[in-house]
Structure 1
Amino acid sequence: MKEGALMGFRKAIIFLIFSTIFLSACTETKPVDTQVKTPSVQSSTQTEPLLPPKEKQEKIGDYQKLKVPVFMYHSISNKPGNNLCVPPERFEQQLKEIVALGFEPITATEYYQAMVYNTPLPKNPILLTFDDGYVDNYTQLFPILKKYNVKGIIFPITGLINENPNFLSTSQMKEMDESRLVEFGSHTKNHVYLAQKDLKKVNDELVESKRFLEESLGKPIRTFCYPYGDYSPAVVKEVKKVGYLLSFTIEEGGATFLNQQYSLDRYYITPHTSLSFLKEYIS
């Protein structure tokens, strides 16, 4: 099948893929119970990394119509047959190609500030996102990001942090955060289909995951990623109410801030994504 035809096919099945294999992505063990206690709420003492929306400019910024490529990864590990697992050597090859093409990875904070406050962006910005928070994001991904001095954004499932050895720990997250190469966003506590839950459950998932990350890292968390790409107008309303300023879907395409602030598209990268296809994504 030609790659052009593959794009449409992959977009049609991506929702099903995530709903069946995300937790078993690169592990052989079953996930533990995610109903874990969350620390009590405390106010953050660190400077706000994303300025509050009430200070937003009245006019549309120069960048708001710009289509920025966002790549969606999950696990960086070797597990043949699992489309959520990109081998480290494959990821490094892709990263070198991205850099060679003149693209510079940025954080979600940098993206938001450029969109809202018109702060400067690199000539060719790109966002590299990693869903779920697998432990290999620390053992495999992080060394590669440091090697090339490249930034990435991780969206961990907070109910699995410190509870499942196949997922990140808070100490690993702190080390990555302190490097300033990795930024964290929320992906809910239990990775549920938000559009299928009542609003109280939606709010609990949004608040508890946000609170856990803020207390673990000592900074506000303003970026969100919908589990399975499942959302609705009611869910978006809750996302805004809780205090997130950006949110990402699994719809395939480049991210355009204008009219998509809470539904930013991404390109799903698998072990089979060729370099020529990758070039097509960012061209």
Structure 2
Amino acid sequence: MLRIPKWLLIGGCSLLAALILFLAVPGGIKMVAAKPESVRLPAVMYHHVLNQSDMLGDYVISPKQLDEDLRYIQERGYTPVSAAELQAYVAGEGELPERPILITFDDGYKSSFVYAYPALKKYGMKGILAVIGIHSEYYSEIDDDNVNYAHATWDELRQMFESGVFEIANHTYDMHEESSPRAGVRRKAGESKADYQKALREDIGTNQQLLEMATGKTPTVFAYPFGFLDEDARAVLDELGFTMTMGVAERVNTVTRGEPESLRELGRYNRPYGVTTQSFFDPIFAEAEREAAAK
């Protein structure tokens, strides 16, 4: 009588058990889904740039400090990216540099044209300029180009956009007020959802039209005034074609391929005067790099 080795019997039973288990599981072998590809994205929020010491503060820095910031960003190996690059990455149509960073300027001051625009060009960098329409409209109609308070004109916005240095974002037409009754794009007390969304649609839509006429391109980026959010605003922003929005929460972002929501309410670090470049950026870069290493 032929004797079958014990090891062969045990091995055969194991293979049979594995086959039964495979057949019993619908779809056979289950693959563990790969973790979505993502990048860590720090974002810096500038406002005004002035060469006047008595006006420097939380939202106004000097041209010298801006130049130091941009040089340090470059030295640390970070590459400023555009909204278009981020949107393409999320859509699965492009790649991002190893260390991306977003550089933004809110409000659309003339100082962005006078100081920020040439500084970014000097370093071969890109930025996003969020424009309050009513102010650019006003200063396009009068002869007042005082850099201390004036806003960029339509012609200046067009020049910055066509250069490829600045993308233009919508910062509302005339809702940049921090106090009540509305406070940014928040809903007024007692205002119905329909009335609220109608007001947003009219204001933000007006700015979309003006910015499109000025630059030839309808903005796809919206910057919330003061970072004030309202859930019922999102449907209007979607309707108007925005695929990227920016707030003011100070955090490093995670932008994920295939997840459009990862471009919503992006956090940004406000850049004040009086803090050295290294003291401002080092904690931000440390957080971005620590989280990137942990992925």
After TM superposition, give the deviation of residue 219 of structure 1 in Å.
Answer: 1.3
1:30-81 Cα offsets, whole Å, 9 max, x none, are xxxxxxxxxxxxxxxxxxxxxxxxxxxxx98623xx2200100001113445
CA distance in 2, matches of 1:220, 1:161: 16
Question: What does 1:25-104 align with in structure 2 at a 5 Å threshold?
Answer: 62-63=37-38, 66-77=39-50, 78=52, 79-104=54-79
Describe the SS at the equivalent of 2:263.
coil
After TM superposition, give the deviation of residue 83 of structure 1 in Å.
Answer: 1.3
1:277 is the counterpart of 2:250: no
After TM superposition, give the deviation of residue 261 of structure 1 in Å.
Answer: 2.6
* Residue of structure 2 equivalent to 1:48: none
CA distance in 2, matches of 1:122, 1:261: 17
1:241-261 Cα offsets, whole Å, 9 max, x none, are 211010000111112235443
After TM superposition, give the deviation of residue 102 of structure 1 in Å.
Answer: 0.2
Q: 1:61 to 1:223 in 2, by over 3 A?
A: farther
Relative to the length of structure 2, the TM-score reads 0.72
Query: Which of residues 244, 251, 254 is equivalent to 1:253?
Result: 251
Question: What does 1:1-283 align with in structure 2 at a 5 Å threshold?
Answer: 62-63=37-38, 66-77=39-50, 78=52, 79-164=54-139, 165=145, 166-190=150-174, 191-192=176-177, 193-197=184-188, 198-257=196-255, 258=259, 259-274=261-276, 275-283=278-286
CA distance in 1, matches of 2:283, 2:127: 21
* Residue of structure 2 equivalent to 1:53: none
Unmatched runs of 5 consecutive residues or more in structure 1: 1-58
Count of equivalent residues: 223
Dislocated runs of 4+, deviation >4 Å: none
Relative to the length of structure 1, the TM-score reads 0.74
Whichever residue aligns with residue 267 of structure 1, its letter is Y
- Asked if the contact 2:187/2:230 (under 8 Å) is kept, the reply is no
Q: 1:162 to 1:195 in 2, by over 3 A?
A: closer
CA distance in 2, matches of 1:109, 1:82: 31
Whichever residue aligns with residue 41 of structure 2, its letter is V
Q: CA RMSD in A?
A: 1.8
CA distance in 2, matches of 1:237, 1:100: 41
CA distance in 2, matches of 1:61, 1:215: 38
1:109-137 Cα offsets, whole Å, 9 max, x none, are 11111122241111111010000000010
CA distance in 1, matches of 2:55, 2:159: 29
Q: 1:158 to 1:188 in 2, by over 3 A?
A: same
Describe the SS at the equivalent of 1:236.
helix
Rg larger in structure: 2
Unmatched runs of 5 consecutive residues or more in structure 2: 1-33, 140-144, 178-183, 189-195, 287-295
Identity %, equivalent residues: 25
CA distance in 2, matches of 1:106, 1:174: 20
- Asked if the contact 1:194/1:235 (under 8 Å) is kept, the reply is yes
